[in-house]
Chain A
Amino acid sequence: MENITKKIRAIAKQALINKDVDKILGWKKGDLWSESYPAFITKAEEADTLIWDLFCINNLSKFLIKELQKHDKIGIFIKGCDSTSFNQLLKDHRINRDDVVLYGIPCEGMVNPEKIKKIMLNDRVTGIKKSENGFTLTSKNKTKDVSGEEIKYDKCITCISPNPVVYDELLGDEVKNKEREEERFKGVEEIEAMTPDERYEFWKGEFQRCIRCNACRDICPACSCVKCVFENQNAEISGKAKTEDEDSFFHIVRAYHVAGRCVDCGECARVCPAGIPLDLLNRKIIKDINEVYGEFNAGFDSITPAPLVTFKLEDTDTFSKQGGK
């Protein structure tokens, strides 16, 4: 990881000095050892603040839309999930490929500080190091060995794109995700197994915590409409009062609007301040598309048309007794 950090700093410095790019998007360290934040730098000296560690979870692609309105060319460091997000933004014609220089970094998964806290409880952890079978957590009194699965983000454990799928330069060797890709839909299946009333109570319980902060929408690479249907009074879909139905509608409609375009980066669930498991909604749709219309991974390229704007004559459906034609 330190190697990559060195490379990142060197590349950023060079790019800004040579004026290859006007701005670099990367990550920098936060106040706590377990926090890394997005960093936007325009001066070569600032390049030394850039880092690459186990906490660089933020998906930076979405910022490109706004930044490209202010700058002509931007360099961005991207992980695998960030690169699929980038492809999705390209497909939606929100950015131009030529305006961006992509520095891809293969990623073995990021660590979730909340999970560390749960394991170590009152023992305040001060550091983390990679070990043979996973990681070693150091606190004031002791060290503890944990496996990757125990502390990585759930979405990283079932990641299907650890390596960037599009890049101009690749930093580091490609990695293989040793964790369990096939468990990607486990959460979805658990909900499918409930009765309709149980399901409704579950989701009602989740949606009623929604404060409509729109964090999920803001970070989502598939949500890039200049005026969201929920902001448009003429669309008559939601007002300002907090009601059960309209809060549910936000999530149902958003899940449908990103159907076939969601790259499963998992950021929506991560940024939700109320802890709503939004990925369970998006993954349900991904699972359905895979099962009924063929496996489709949005974001793996920027040309394949999305499943909901194409069709096959032999398509089946989930509602009539016989499908196809």
Chain B
Amino acid sequence: MQGGIKLRKIGVFVCWCGSNIAATVDVEQVVQEANKMSGVAYAADYQYMCSEIGQNMMKDAILKHNLDRVVIAACSPRMHEGTFRRAAEESGINPYLVEIANIREQCSWVHKDKKAGTEKAIALTRAAVAKVTLNTELIPGEIDVVKKALIIGGGIAGIQAALDIADAGYKVDIVEKTPSIGGRMAQLDKTFPTLDCSACILTPKMVDAARHPNITLHTYSEVEKISGYVGNFNVSIKKKARYVDMDKCTGCRICTEKCPSKKAKSEFEEGLKNRGAVYIPFAQAVPNVPVIDTDECIKLKTGKCGLCEKLCPSGAIDFNQKDEMITEEYGAIVVASGYDIIDLDKFGEYQYDHPDVITSLEFERITNAAGPTNGKFVRPSDGEKPKKVVFVQCVGSRDKTERGKSYCSKICCMYTAKHSMLIKEKYPDIEAYVFYIDVRTPGKNFDEFQRRAVEKYGVQYIKGMVGKIFPEGKKLMVHGVDTMSGETLVIDADMVVLAAATKAKSDAVDLKRKLNISTDINNFFTEAHPKLRPVETASAGIYLAGACQGPKDIPETVAQSSAAAAKVIGLLNKSKLVNNPCVSAVDESLCSGCLACTEMCPYDAISFKNIEIDDHGQKIKKVVADVNEALCHGCGGCTVTCRPGAIDLKGFTNKQILAEVDAICR
């Protein structure tokens, strides 16, 4: 506002922070100078402003001297801005009329010379006073919360989070891309470090999720579009046509047995077995209803066949089904979309195209009693029992070249130990060799587990890498090196198991764009803070669980899922959410309606509206930009895109920042 600036009564409180500030900044001089600054009605210092005594001193001064805004010159605002805002509010001052000058982390702790440090502290305090002079009262808005959560991904991470949220009394939807929930854990045979049967511990949870009155499963479905904001997400879900009526199907499996089209490779079996065009991915699938693969179904492609329809005793097959699009509202979203393992096409030296060279997931299917070989550990090429099995660790992990991933995939050392122990347990005469760089076993009972493989089961651990594998007749000659002895060695293996690196799913980037959250250079979703906020994202209301955030094993995944669920429950518990009031606002008299701001806003928070203004007696219709305060996160990017400065950011207005620049440059 031009012209008459209200006379401010600013209180400046300078903290000693014990000797943290006082050692290199002359606090009393800062107070002296502060008293001379325009608008300052009262200045004082104290040793620990954040303490109860310090805060009370501030509150007393506010009441006694009728102060209307406050500057605290102390530690970083990232430490105590909240503390002082609350204290000011308790004295009747709007919490946004408080500014902090950082004279500790950015002054007293980094400068040795007391004179220079004091000068700088004075300049920073002057800047804070200049800014607070222009602060306006800001009142956070309130948002309603939809009491329903969405979980993207139906693996163990998604299932655990769903069960926790549902048990707390809130409705949950799980959207799963494949025809059944269960995820990677359903593919595993036994799990470390307890060697529990994976399906035995997973399927009860799958059934709980299916039966829970608060949980709705949307399998064979994908999230298409997400809009909205925390407490009010609007999500479109595409439910792909199964061509099977879920209400009529009894799960008898006659259709899947009799389907004549058997060329498709089963995704669940990692391609080791074929499946029909109409299929259920695995025996314990939930829901226990098949789907028809449109690319393989003879009837859907040519109009002929239709055998399943004829044979189905309940008449559940329906070739006329169409994809369905539904829209739902949610208060919170949990991303639990899981992981993949890398393609091995760039690792030709390991001869992955040889049928007896397999990945760890393929190993799980082979040893699984419900797998393609009914649990018999045999070579895929000729069905014979192998005599020597070589395990190669770190295939593509800890790899600084573009072929692989630079990170450690975390689970491979443990599952390789598990694999080697499983085959030694069943077939003690098989020789097992593990080529490793390091053995990483940090979890509870993990190290004891791995040592058992060496000490009890006689698995031979060789510290070195494999250079190349040459197939020779029925054997696979594995050329490696033992760095402990310094010698190269060749093992005539019958089978080789590669611990391929884990990687983020290929649709992670697509999903992140829909959600407007970030991924790191490896396409894993980024958490809000690597140490202190591991299950939240930078976007309020969207949480992460499981391996989509980074490689992790089942115990950690379950822990993270429950943590995400706790955050969701805390969010849904609130009747109203308070939003950040430092948002953008449009001055309609300055706005030309060019809408450049709407194009750059990272949150799509700006749209436009038509208004009518009175221009010198003439009524003119105008298009102006319009900010949705609930979506605006307050980054301020629009204020720079706006050339006339029609849109400004509350709490960090143009004038405020210019005032700070002026104060510093004095």
Q: Which residues in A have some Cβ–Cβ distance to B below 8 Å?
A: 69, 92-94, 224-229, 232-236, 257, 305-306, 308-310, 325
Contact = CB atoms under 8 A, between A and B. Distances in A.
Contacts of B590: 225-227, 232
B643 to A, nearest CB: 4
B644 interface: yes
A234 B655 contact: yes
B645 interface: yes
A232 B645 contact: yes
Contacts of B654: 235-236
B596 A94 contact: no
A236 B655 contact: yes
Contact of B644 (A69, A93, A229, A310): A229
Nearest to B2: A233
Given A93-B594, A93-B595, A226-B592, A257 B643 contact: yes
B599 A309 contact: yes
A305 B655 CA distance: 29
B485 interface: no
18 contacts: A69-B620, A92-B596, A93-B592, A93-B594, A94-B592, A94-B593, A224-B592, A224-B594, A227-B590, A229-B644, A232-B590, A234-B2, A235-B654, A306-B596, A308-B600, A308-B641, A309-B596, A310-B600
Interface in B618-656: 620, 623, 641, 643-646, 654-655
Given A93-B593, A234-B645, 15 more contacts: A92-B596, A224-B592, A224-B594, A225-B590, A225-B592, A225-B643, A227-B589, A227-B646, A229-B644, A229-B645, A232-B590, A233-B2, A235-B644, A257-B643, A308-B600
Given A233-B2, A236-B658, A305 B643 contact: no
A225 B594 CA distance: 8
A92 B623 CA distance: 11
A268 to B, nearest CB: 16
Overall SS of chain B's interface:
loop
A228 B600 CA distance: 21
A228 B643 CA distance: 8
Contacts of B645: 229, 232, 234-235
Chain B: number of interface residues, binned into ranges: 20 to 34
Given A233-B2, A234-B2, A94 B599 contact: no
B521 interface: yes
Contact of A310 (B599, B643, B646, B655): B599
A309 B600 contact: yes
A310 B655 CA distance: 27
Contacts of A305: 599
Nearest to A261: B596
B623 A93 contact: yes
Contacts of A225: 590, 592, 594, 643-644
Contact of A232 (B521, B600, B644): B644
A325 B594 contact: no
A10 B168 CA distance: 79
Contacts of A69: 620
A235 B643 CA distance: 11
Contacts of B599: 305, 309-310
Nearest to B637: A309
A308 B640 CA distance: 10
**List of 4 A-B pairs having minimum Cβ-Cβ separation, nearest first:** A309-B599, A92-B594, A309-B600, A225-B644
A94 B595 CA distance: 10
Interface in B552-596: 589-596
A308 to B, nearest CB: 7
B445 to A, nearest CB: 40
A316 to B, nearest CB: 16
A225 B644 CA distance: 7
A232 B592 CA distance: 14
Kindly name the residue among A224, A235, A257, A309 whose own CB sees the greatest number of chain B CB atoms within 10 A.
A309
A280 B641 CA distance: 23
B521 A325 contact: yes
A159 B507 CA distance: 45
Contacts of A224: 592, 594
Contacts of B595: 93
A232 B589 CA distance: 11
B535 to A, nearest CB: 25
A228 B596 contact: no
Contacts of A308: 600, 641
A233 B589 CA distance: 14
A226 B655 CA distance: 20
A308 B594 CA distance: 14
Contacts of A229: 643-645
A130 B594 CA distance: 43
A92 B521 contact: no
